[in-house]
Amino acid sequence: MDIKKKVLITVDDLVSSFLYCDRKEDEDLENGAIESAIENGDITVDEIVAKFKASIIKAL
């Protein structure tokens, strides 16, 4: 498997953790809160993606 495919698979795992696994014990941002915030228009997917992008660029 090439590095690009490995990175993209890891992104899938990261999203799963971000939306579900990490929310199980988070009192401030409980399971389903992110999805609800998107559905309610409190935040957009594009805003979340932009923050992830900025954080990756900053970390490089």
> Which pLDDT score is estimated for 43?
99
pLDDT at 25 over 90: no
Domains of the chain, residue spans: 3-59
pTM for the predicted model, two decimal places: 0.84
pLDDT at 21 over 90: no
Give every CB contact of residue 34 below 8 A, 6+ residues apart in sequence.
18, 19, 23, 43, 48
Q: Which of 38, 2, 59, 42 is nearest to 15 (CA)?
A: 38
> Which pLDDT score is estimated for 20?
84
